[in-house]
Amino acid sequence: MATHSHSRLPKLVEGVDLRALPIGPAEAFVLSRVDAQASEADIAEATGIPLESVAKTLEELCMLGAVRFEEPERESRNPRKPSRPSGAFRIGPIVEASRPQETHHPAAALYDPSELLEAADLDDARKRSILETYYKLDHTTHYELLRVEPSADKRAIKSAYYEIVNLFHPDRYFGKNLGKFKAKLEQVFSRVTEAHDVLTRGASREEYDAYLASRRKTNELISVSESALQAEADAIRKKIEDDARALSAPPIAQTNSLYPEPRIVDAAPNSQRVSVRPLDPDERKRALARKLGRSFSPTPTPRPSVPAISKVEAQGHAVDELKRRYEQRITQGKQQHVDRYLETAQQALATHDPVAASNALRIAESLAPDDPAQAGRLQDLKEQAGGLVANHYLQLAQYEEREGKFADAAASYQRVAQAKPTARIHERAAYCGLMAERELRSAGEHARRAVALAPEDAQCRVTLARIYVAAGMKQSGLAEFERAAQLAPKDDTIKEWIRRLKRGEA
């Protein structure tokens, strides 16, 4: 596990049943000091437990989902995103290309620099390029690996392959001591050859391109940023406002052809006419009262009928009317746009395009339709789109799991879990994370959710237990296995695990 600076601030995760945690007194002691105020170092000082132990215990509690750290998430190493631009253009041999990338690419973090010290008859640049390529193998597409564009023809692919082979074939270094680099070179070579073989055979390239397209689609889903969508929604809102302003300004005649004249708008011309009338009934009464020499108390009349309006009053009324008209138009414009986006989404759903559908829906949603019918339809389409996206990811996840690309599969299952948070999906996400032997923390998270959703499912508990064991938390693992054993008392696999853990074998 990576080393952490010990300035982190642990906080309790809300809603966790602390009593149900598979922990011992030592962990509980540390846990009792977690108050969202004390840092790791503070806790160590307060408890007298060495800082390393505190950190370790907190890590474990974090794995168990009881504690989280208050610190910005480290830049997630989503394998697909950073490598995308780098492979888009051919930038010459890998040795040269890999250097400038170091500065902005997290390539340096791909391997432990001490691996460069590994004894081998290779210069540092060569070692670096081998390590960089080796540790990127799981995350690059065949095109990126060969450094060709996806549109490259067979000839270009072959030529690129020959060039790379010259760098990475172990025979290049025959008789030299390659140490651990030999196996790495062989693996790089084997992967490069696979890429070449897939891309130079028509049928297999088509199949692979289809997979890539599907992956790209899902990547688009990930990469369409909230802010871009927000910006688009804002632009639409502004347009609606501009349109409404333009429309609500006189002259009316012009607008008639565009919008049917709403009835209320008639009030304005009426008020104009009122002002030209000599006197209204109240005025006449007053005049009569003056003549009669007694006071006049006007009869309370409902507002519309009241106006004995001055010129200023008449103008104020007109502004109100304009404002109402304007708002009316905005509502209408919004409804129209929402309708349009809902329509787009529906069409996208019909053609099984989850990206277009979900983008359209997100914009529609950000326009906040208040029409209940529209809101209902939006909700309905959102569910459909969610299902489509989830299906898409599920297919990807299954393909990746089958191909043994567990890290990718784990990521895809996690996406599925967002739309279909079932125990089964969470369990798969956790299992693939476990098999990928990385991101154990998020694997643990999914396994816990799976257990929460299906507390009676032994399989979910076994996966969680195995994740605990993989994270070095044998006691927690054992506790979870024992719970699983209660659920499935006949399962020898679980018994065997328990036996091994008790004997300290695993």
Partner 1 sequence: MERVIGIDLGTTNSCVAILEGDTSVVIPNRGGYKTTPSVVAVTEAGKRLVGHIAKRQAITNAENTVYAAKRLIGRKWNSPQVKNAIMTSSYTIVEGPHADVRIKLRDKNYSVPEISSMVLQEMKIVAEDYLGEPVKKAVVTVPAYFNDNQRQATKDAGAIAGLDVIRIINEPTAASLAYGYGKDLDRTVAVYDLGGGTFDISILEIGSHGVFKVISTTGDTFLGGEDFDARIIDWLVSGFQDEHGIDLRQDRMALQRLRDAAEKAKCELSSVRETEINLPFIISTGRNEALHLQRTLPRQTLEKLTSDLVERTVDICRQALSDAKLGVEEVEDVILVGGMTRMPAVQSAVSGYFGREPNKSVHPDEVVAMGAAIQGAALVQDRQDMILLDVTPHALGIMTFGSHFEELIPQNTTVPTSRTKVFTTSRDDQTAVKILVMQGESKRADENELLGEFILTGLRRAPKGHVEIEVTFEINTDGIVSVHAKDMETGQAQSIQVTATSGLTQDEIKNMMTHAQDYLLERRTDEHFEAAKQEAETLIAEIERLFPEIERVVGSADFGRDAIAKAKVTVDRARNAIASKDSNLVKEQVDQLARTQRMFKGVVSRG
Kindly state whether residue 177 participates in binding partner 1, applying the rule CB under 8 A: no
Cα 487 to Cα 441: distance, rounded to the nearest angstrom? 25
User: Of 266, 243, 250, which Cα lies nearest the Cα of 336?
Assistant: 243
**Contacts to partner 1 from residues 249-288, by CB under 8 A:** none
Kindly state whether residue 310 participates in binding partner 1, applying the rule CB under 8 A: no
Contact with partner 1 (CB under 8 A) among 70, 96, 197, 234: 197
Taking the least distance from each CB to partner 1, the nearer of 164 and 390 is 164
Taking the least distance from each CB to partner 1, the nearer of 53 and 190 is 190
Query: Distance from CA of residue 446 to its chain's centroid?
Result: 16
Taking the least distance from each CB to partner 1, the nearer of 166 and 336 is 166
CB 467 within 8 A of CB 444: yes
Give pairs for 230-239: CB < 8 Å, separation 24+. Answer: 230/366, 232/363, 233/363, 233/366, 233/367, 236/337, 236/363, 236/367, 237/334, 237/367, 239/333
Identify which range of 27-35, 135-143, 166-174, 309-317 contacts partner 1 by CB under 8 A.
Answer: 166-174
Cα 59 to Cα 125: distance, rounded to the nearest angstrom? 36
Contact with partner 1 (CB under 8 A) among 39, 101, 187, 475: 187
Cα 132 to Cα 141: distance, rounded to the nearest angstrom? 15
Taking the least distance from each CB to partner 1, the nearer of 65 and 472 is 472
Contact with partner 1 (CB under 8 A) among 32, 177, 190, 336: 190
Contact with partner 1 (CB under 8 A) among 134, 181, 189, 406: 189
Cα 185 to Cα 162: distance, rounded to the nearest angstrom? 15
Kindly state whether residue 482 participates in binding partner 1, applying the rule CB under 8 A: no
Cα 304 to Cα 311: distance, rounded to the nearest angstrom? 16
Kindly state whether residue 474 participates in binding partner 1, applying the rule CB under 8 A: no
User: Of 474, 481, 248, 232, which Cα lies nearest the Cα of 365?
Assistant: 232
**Shortest distance, position 176 Cβ to partner 1, whole Å:** 10
Contact with partner 1 (CB under 8 A) among 53, 76, 166, 275: 166
Taking the least distance from each CB to partner 1, the nearer of 159 and 271 is 159
For 426-481, give the secondary structure using H, E and C: HHHHHHHHHHCCCCHHHHHHHHHHHHHHCCCCHHHHHHHHHHHHHCCCHHHHHHHH
Identify which range of 77-85, 271-279, 312-320, 491-499 contacts partner 1 by CB under 8 A.
Answer: 491-499
Cα 221 to Cα 224: distance, rounded to the nearest angstrom? 6
Identify which range of 153-161, 205-213, 340-348, 358-366 contacts partner 1 by CB under 8 A.
Answer: 153-161
**Contacts to partner 1 from residues 385-414, by CB under 8 A:** 404
Contact with partner 1 (CB under 8 A) among 39, 47, 101, 159: 159
Cα 463 to Cα 477: distance, rounded to the nearest angstrom? 10
Residues 6+ apart with CB under 8 A from 333: 239, 240, 243, 244
Kindly state whether residue 186 participates in binding partner 1, applying the rule CB under 8 A: yes
Give bridge partners of residue 67 from the DSSP assignment: 12
Kindly state whether residue 153 participates in binding partner 1, applying the rule CB under 8 A: no
**Contacts to partner 1 from residues 284-303, by CB under 8 A:** none
**Shortest distance, position 204 Cβ to partner 1, whole Å:** 9
Query: Distance from CA of residue 271 to its chain's centroid?
Result: 56
**Contacts to partner 1 from residues 225-254, by CB under 8 A:** none
How many residues of this chain bind partner 1 (CB under 8 A)? 30
**Shortest distance, position 154 Cβ to partner 1, whole Å:** 11
Kindly state whether residue 104 participates in binding partner 1, applying the rule CB under 8 A: no
- Which 3 state secondary structure label does DSSP give 70? strand
Please report, as ranges, the residues that interact with partner 1 according to CB under 8 A: 158-159, 161-163, 165-166, 169-172, 174-175, 182, 186-187, 189-190, 193, 197, 201, 404, 466, 491-493, 496-497, 500, 506
